[in-house]
């Protein structure tokens, strides 16, 4: 027995390793296809393709928003650069100014170091292999929690849909039980009316019966009942198998609705008509829930 999964879920995970803190949050909702949106700091942007690849292992369908944060408190990501060429230009211009205005050239190292861009700080390159080795388990933990939450919600949806399918079986059985009687009554009433309208004794009575039988067969719903029962069985089976079944369930629900519509259009008595309406109502409720199944 498989697990049905909802497309709504949430997962979060974080870890701190040697002063590097990783946090991942995943939120998913229903969507026709797989739509992944990732928000992460620029320093981790090089891992975006890898993140998407991992996510596809856990999520087949739905809109997924991923929020990733990274803080490095170890102080090992910044380094100071001494720009010798810029310092030399400053020194050259200061010497020129001293000569132009007859001033003492009293430049000291401490003065020169304060000029813009003589010293700059830059982010040093991270060890990509190390960062991914630390980060990937955090990402997978958040996705595992997301999948579990989707499975819990999916099982709730599954139980409710299976309950509705059991109600549909009862309604279909009611229509099936009444169908022969309804067709027989319809045929008899139609035959009586035709005989009343046709007083010409030269018309063969067997011909009238044949024509009435052909016409009354149009209100027969045996084929629709058979197909509807088959669709109910197929949907129940798919729900038990689980996995990515949302699109298939939606297709089956459409076919169910088609058969229920035909039964309703053929209804000649109030009970069958009302039961067919109940069928359509139940199918619509199921279709609404199916929209959130992966």
Taken in order of first residue, the domains within the chain and their CATH numbers are: 9-74+126-151 (3.30.230), 78-123 (no CATH), 153-290 (no CATH)
Collapsing DSSP states into helix, strand and coil, what is residue 79?
strand
What is the structure's pLDDT at 100? 85
Kindly list the distances between the CA atom of residue 283 and the CA atoms of 63, 130, 159, 221, in Å, as whole numbers in the listed order: 25, 52, 15, 18
Q: What are 21's two structure tokens?
A: 């803190």
What is the structure's pLDDT at 90? 86
| CA separation for the pair 201, 134 (Å, rounded) | 96
What is the structure's pLDDT at 109? 84
pTM of the model: 0.69
DSSP string covering 215-275, please? Answer: HHGGG--HHHHHHHHHHHHHHHHHHHH-BS-HHHHHHHHHHHHHHHHHHHHH--SHHHHHH
Phi, psi for 266 (deg, rounded to 5): -90, -5
Mind listing the pLDDT tens digit of every residue in the chain (294 residues)?
678 899 999 999 999 998 899 999 999 999 989 999 999 998 899 999 999 999 999 999 999 999 999 998 765 555 666 888 988 888 888 888 888 888 888 888 887 888 888 777 666 567 889 999 999 999 999 999 999 999 999 999 999 999 999 999 999 998 888 877 766 666 666 666 666 666 655 556 666 566 556 555 666 788 899 999 999 999 999 999 988 899 999 999 999 999 999 888 877 778 888 999 999 999 999 999 999 999
From the list 151, 158, 147, 155, the residue with the least C-alpha distance to 64 is: 147
H-helix or E-strand spanning residue 26: strand 20-29
| CA separation for the pair 96, 168 (Å, rounded) | 96
Q: What are 36's two structure tokens?
A: 């992944």
Collapsing DSSP states into helix, strand and coil, what is residue 2?
coil
């Amino acid at each position: 027995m498989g697990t049905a999964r909802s497309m709504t879920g949430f997962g979060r995970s974080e870890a701190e390793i040697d002063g590097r803190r990783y946090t991942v949050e995943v939120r998913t909702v229903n969507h026709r296809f797989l739509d992944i949106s990732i928000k992460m700091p620029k320093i981790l942007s090089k891992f975006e393709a890898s993140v998407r690849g991992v996510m596809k292992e856990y999520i087949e369908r739905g809109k997924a928003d991923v929020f990733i944060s990274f803080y490095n408190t170890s102080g090992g990501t910044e380094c100071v650069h001494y720009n010798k060429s810029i310092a030399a230009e400053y020194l050259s211009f200061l010497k020129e100014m001293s000569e132009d205005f007859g001033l003492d050239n009293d430049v000291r190292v401490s003065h020169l170091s304060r000029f813009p861009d003589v010293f700059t700080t830059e982010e040093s390159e991270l060890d990509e292999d190390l960062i991914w080795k630390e980060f990937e388990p955090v990402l997978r933990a958040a996705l595992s929690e997301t999948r579990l939450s989707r499975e819990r919600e999916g099982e709730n949806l599954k139980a409710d849909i299976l309950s509705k399918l059991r109600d549909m079986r009862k309604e279909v059985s009611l229509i099936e039980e009444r169908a022969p009687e309804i067709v027989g009554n319809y045929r008899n009433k139609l035959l009586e009316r035709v005989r009343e309208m046709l007083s010409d004794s030269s018309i063969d009575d067997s011909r009238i019966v044949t024509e009435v039988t052909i016409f009354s067969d149009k209100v027969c719903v045996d084929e629709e009942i058979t197909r509807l029962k088959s669709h109910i069985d197929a949907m129940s089976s798919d729900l038990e198998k689980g996995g990515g079944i949302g699109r298939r369930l939606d297709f089956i629900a459409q076919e169910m609705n088609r058969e229920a519509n035909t039964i309703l259009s053929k209804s000649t008595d109030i009970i069958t008509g009302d039961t067919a309406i109940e069928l359509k109502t139940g199918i619509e409720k199921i279709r609404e829930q199916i929209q959130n199944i992966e």
